[in-house]
Structure 1
Amino acid sequence: MINHRFAMLIKVQQQREEKLQAQFINAQQFYQQAEQKYQGLADYRTEYIQQSQQQGSSGLQSRQYNQFVNFIGKLDQALMQQAKAVQQARQVAEQRKQAWLAMQKKRKALEYLVEREQTAALHAQMKQEQKNADEYAGQIFMRRLAAEKAEEL
């Protein structure tokens, strides 16, 4: 009865653990996507600056230079926003990982408790069987002894 209750509890814990694991995996994927987006923006900014420098070597008009500076400023803002998104995604992924690991630890503790209970029950059963066997052997010995005494008389 107790093992059945623990088995049900372990099953519920496993389902929760699987759900938390899936949430962690999703958060980890979102974090990786955010990081890739950040890297893509950073690479684009670098390429844009290089291309603009190549074009600027032949001379830039002030309007073109202002457009260049404004666009770089917008890219810098986008990079800062994406960096914040990456940091938040990293924190969420870490929180989900910790929740998943905590649930895994609880499940393993329950499984250990059930295993310990089963081991104790098995030892008790073996001890009872040995006691019964010893008692049976004792009864047989006493019957034989009584039979021998009866034959002597």
Structure 2
Amino acid sequence: MSQSKLALLIKVQKEREEKLQAQFIKAQQLYQQAEQKYQGLANYRTEYIQQSLQQGAVGLGGRQYNQYVAFISKLDEALSQQGRVIQQSRNAAEQRRQSWLKMQTKRKALEKLVEQAQQRDLLLQNRQQQKMADEYAGQRFYQRLLADEVTN
């Protein structure tokens, strides 16, 4: 494969890599937001329980107590659901990170191929130049020998 084709392929790989990196960053942000939401819910639940305990110390009716328990149960369910969202977003972020790293590895491998091809081309070019220099030196030597024989 020619170097120009490889260079084009590397450019395409870089663009893909950048898109995958952006997707990973977005997934990571969604994961962090999900964790923050979970923490907010957990804090709210704790505060609500403390508030209900304070209210209970003063005195609660049966109906009011049942309402507190039902709301805490709803908060527990919301925390459970948010825990699942966290797990899903963590998995999605990790999957996108792996895709990004895989693309990065492919790009680096292509860059290494290009570098090796450039080194081979440079070595070949140096050998050709050396061969031309040797031929020129040989011709000059031969011309001097002929010139010396003609003058002698």
Tell me the SS of whatever aligns to 2:59.
Answer: coil
Corresponding residue for 2:65? 65
Q: Which residue pairs with 2:6 in the alignment?
A: 6
2:105 — aligned with what?
A: 105
Gaps of 5+ in 1: none
C-alpha distance in 1, partners of 2:49/2:57?
12
Match of 1:24 in 2: 24
What is residue 35 of structure 1 aligned with on the other side?
35
Unaligned 5+ residue runs, structure 2? none
1:108-119 to 2 correspondence within 5 Å? 108-119=108-119
Give aligned pairs, total: 152
- C-alpha distance in 1 between matches for 2:149 and 2:51: 116
Following TM superposition, the consecutive aligned residue runs of length 4 or more in structure 1 with deviations greater than 3 angstroms are none
Q: Which residue of 1 aligns with 2:145?
A: 145
Deviation at 1:7, TM superposition (A): 1.0
Report what 1:121 is aligned to. Answer: 121
Normalization by structure 1: what TM-score? 0.96
Q: Distance between the aligned counterparts of 2:145 and 2:56, measured in 1?
A: 117
TM-score, with structure 2 as normaliser? 0.97
Measure the CA separation in 2 of the matches of 1:133 and 1:19.
Answer: 50
Give the deviation of 1:57 after TM superposition.
Answer: 1.1
Measured against aligned partners, the alpha-carbon deviations of 1:27-65 in whole angstroms (never above 9, x if no partner) come to 111111111100100000011111111121112111111
Please provide the CA RMSD for this pair: 1.0
Instruction: Output the CA distance in 1 between the equivalents of 2:43 and 2:68.
Output: 16
Deviation at 1:80, TM superposition (A): 0.1
